[in-house]
């Protein structure tokens, strides 16, 4: 557990440093910060998912499990719209009762090629996810999936829009 905790703290420290650098308006640092934020989110999820196994038989340490939770389906009614500012898009989808968070991915390439998809982070809600720092005139595609007691659900159908 110490090794996982140490790695998590290292990533969080790196994220804090980049957040400080971003306050000076460095666009390269903004990009780096966004990538590290995704890494922090993934490490936190990994850390949380390992808690029950690390707790062993100590029932007060185990994460509660909702065994009656239905398996997730692909998010429905997903839309992508332009944000109020240039280079911003807003993703929305219908909430899933069994989802505790939502995983967003983006691609500028062929949506049928799995390697083209880039993680855009885990989000607590699916009713308003803003994606910033997009290049105007480029087509971006997004997909979303829920994450719940049974793990991750299937991806939504990709939705595309040209950034303004």
62-99 tens-digit pLDDT: 444 555 667 889 999 999 999 999 999 999 999 998 88
The mean of the pLDDT values for the chain is: 81
pLDDT confidence of residue 61: 40
Pairing type for strands 139-148 and 151-152 reads: antiparallel
pLDDT confidence of residue 45: 67
Asked if residue 107 has pLDDT above 70, the reply is: yes
Nearest Cα neighbor of 99 from 66, 60, 131, 133 is 66
Cα separations in angstroms, 99 against 58, 71, 75, 154: 26, 9, 10, 12
Higher pLDDT, 67 or 109: 109
Question: What is the mean predicted confidence (pLDDT) over 21-25?
Answer: 68
Domain 79-162 CATH superfamily: Immunoglobulins (2.60.40.10)
Higher pLDDT, 107 or 5: 107
Share of the chain above pLDDT 90, in %: 48
Kindly report the pTM of this predicted structure: 0.61
Higher pLDDT, 39 or 82: 82
pLDDT confidence of residue 93: 96
Contact 15, 32 (CB under 8 A): no
């Amino acid at each position: 557990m110490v090794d996982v905790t140490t790695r998590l703290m290292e990533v969080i420290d790196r994220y804090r440093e980049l957040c400080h650098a971003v306050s000076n308006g460095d666009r390269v640092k903004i990009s780096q910060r966004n990538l590290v934020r995704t890494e922090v989110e993934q490490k936190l999820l990994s850390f949380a998912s390992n808690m029950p196994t690390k707790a062993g038989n100590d029932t007060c340490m185990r994460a509660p499990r909702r065994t009656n939770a239905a398996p997730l389906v692909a998010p429905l009614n997903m839309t992508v719209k332009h944000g109020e500012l240039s280079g911003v898009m807003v993703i929305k989808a219908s909430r899933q009762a069994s989802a505790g968070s939502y995983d967003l991915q983006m691609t500028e390439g062929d949506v049928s090629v799995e390697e083209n998809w880039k993680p855009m982070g885990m989000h607590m809600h699916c009713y308003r996810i803003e994606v910033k720092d997009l290049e105007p005139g480029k087509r971006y595609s997004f997909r979303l999936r829920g994450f719940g007691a049974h793990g991750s659900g299937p991806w939504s159908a990709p939705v595309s829009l040209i950034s303004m």
